[in-house]
Amino acid sequence: MTDYSGGLDVRAAPILAGEQGPGDRKQRSASLWADAWRELYRNPIFVISSLMVLAVISMAAFPTLWTDADPERCPLVQGFDAPSDKHVFGATVQGCDMYAHVIYGARPSIIIAVFVTLATTLIGATLGIVAGYYGGWLDTAVSRVTDVFLGLPFLLGALVFLALLSGRQNIWTVSFVLIVLSWPPIARIMRGSVIAVKSQDYVEAARALGASGPSIIIRHIVPNAIAPVIVVATLYLGGFVSAEATLTFLGVGLQVPEISWGITISQGQLIAVSGYPHLLIFPCAAVVLTVLGFILMGDALRDALDPKGR
């Protein structure tokens, strides 16, 4: 270890009560995540919700594992068919197999949710770190920009932006609009967490020993400030699945011939009340269970990382 004390071996110096050495800091950080993991795998809610999420992800990634039916084969003669041995979930308005549409409809929702969550977390966390750690005019600039975007109503803003892109809606345009409107809360949360962490003794000690700003951020700030952001990002996954289905249902999201839960719900909403409830029950159940799985997983993760907040 480099001697920063002008001849006194730091390794030989005793750690006074209340002080923390680098090893204690690493042990504490490792213990936090280790304790959280032990709490999670013993939590039945987390296990069940994780299995639900994994099932939906497997539908999106490997739909042929769940069905061998062709979702684009739609004989009009079997339109509105009720659930039967031939079609376990019945048929859609166009005569497509409803079960196949539910399975294949998971793909765009999961792609959008994962991509938007990763991008939103990266943008928001980066801006939050810069604002919280450096402060000054950077903090002021980031905070004011964040306030502007927070002032935009999420659903109304998404409707307006996607309406302006009429005829060009696809997975990536929907993702772009959701990213633009969703990063400010992450930035706010990360900023507050960084401000709380940067005043800790171990950060001051690292700064006194000559560590650079980027080094302190990477080695000390991020590992100890990222937990709230991870929890919110997990909840965001379910929120973006719901947002995509809502925007598509309202006609400004994904468009035919894309297979999506929102499109299936939109096409069946008027016919379902005429004696064909399966047109809404199954795609709506897919959305609800997917969102519920992500929310329950996020709640369990929050409790594991912050037991005092229960």
**275 or 238: which leads in pLDDT:** 238
pLDDT at residue 13 tops 50: no
pLDDT band at residue 210, thresholds of 50, 70 and 90? Answer: confident
Report cis status (omega within 30 of 0) of the bond before 307.
Answer: no
Cβ–Cβ < 8 Å for 185, 232? yes
Tell me the C-alpha distance between 145 and 161, whole Å.
18
Q: Is the pLDDT of residue 93 over 60?
A: yes
Mean pLDDT, residues 7-15 = 38
Amino acid at 196: A
Alpha carbon separation from 236 to 73, 83, 149, 174, 242 (Å, rounded): 34, 33, 17, 15, 10
Average pLDDT on 212-240 reads 89
| Cβ(70)–Cβ(57) below 8 Å | no
List pLDDT tens digits, range 103-135: 999 999 999 999 999 999 999 999 999 999 998
More confidently predicted of 14 and 134: 134
**Residue 30: what pLDDT?**
54
152-166 pLDDT per residue, tens:
889 889 999 998 887
Q: How far apart are the first and last CA of the chain?
A: 41
User: What stretches of 68-226 show up as alpha helix (H) in DSSP?
Assistant: 98-104, 106-134, 136-150, 154-164, 171-198, 201-208, 213-216, 222-225
Question: In Å, what is the CA distance from 189 to each residue of 124, 144, 153, 239?
Answer: 9, 15, 19, 17
pLDDT in tens, 252-290: 988 888 889 999 888 888 776 667 788 888 999 999 999
In the prediction, which pLDDT does 307 show? 53
Neighbour count for residue 256 (Cβ, 10 Å): 10
pLDDT at position 2: 42
Cα distance between residue 163 and residue 2, in whole Å: 60
Residue ranges and CATH numbers for the domains of the chain are 34-104+259-310 (no CATH), 106-256 (1.10.3720.10)
163-201 pLDDT, tens digit per residue, is 888 778 889 999 999 999 999 999 999 999 999 988 888
